[in-house]
Amino acid sequence: MTVDPDPDAESDPGAPELADVKRRTWLAAERTWLAWWRTGLGAAAVSIGVGRLLPGLTGGARWPLKVLGLGYGLVAIAVLVIGAIRQTKVASALRRGSYEELSTPLVMWLTAAAVALSIATLVVIAVAI
């Protein structure tokens, strides 16, 4: 025999189910913030690799790779700052019981920057080899 859940339990803010949903939502927001951090740190690592390590391995001009390394570094900083701002907005929205949508133009700009840097890196490496 199954028992139907109490219909009033969902409207009770202290209900365990509602508390669990809120807890999971906050934890998901925290994981998202940590993903922004991982992405920023990954871009910083690529910055070091492209800007400092790769120029010593290629026989071509060093300055293009150094410039690209700086570009990846700027993307890393942007991702870390945007992630922090986003986390603040999401936390505020969660406190209000609403949702903070990620800006489509922001996504497009970050994607375009990463794609442009990646293509430029491939071109510089292909020319240097």
At 80-91, the pLDDT tens digits run 999 999 999 999
Average pLDDT, the chain: 86
Residue 2 lies in a domain: no
User: Does the structure show a pLDDT above 60 at 12?
Assistant: no
Residue 1 lies in a domain: no
pLDDT value of residue 2: 44
**pLDDT tier, 23 (very low <50, low <70, confident <90, very high otherwise):** confident
Residue 7 lies in a domain: no
**pLDDT tier, 126 (very low <50, low <70, confident <90, very high otherwise):** confident
- CA–CA–CA angle 108, 75, 42 (5° rounding): 110
Residue 105 lies in a domain: yes
Q: What is the total count of domains within the chain?
A: 1
pLDDT value of residue 13: 56
pLDDT value of residue 14: 60
- Distance separating alpha carbons of residues 51 and 31, to the nearest angstrom: 30
Summarised one tens digit per residue, pLDDT across range 35-80 is 999 999 999 999 999 999 988 887 778 899 999 999 999 999 999 9
Q: For residue 95, give Cα distances in angstroms to 15, 25, 47.
A: 17, 11, 36
pTM: 0.79
Residue 46 lies in a domain: yes
Residue 5 lies in a domain: no
By residue range, what is the domain housing residue 98? 16-128
pLDDT (mean) for 2-18: 54
79, 41 contact by CB (below 8 A): no
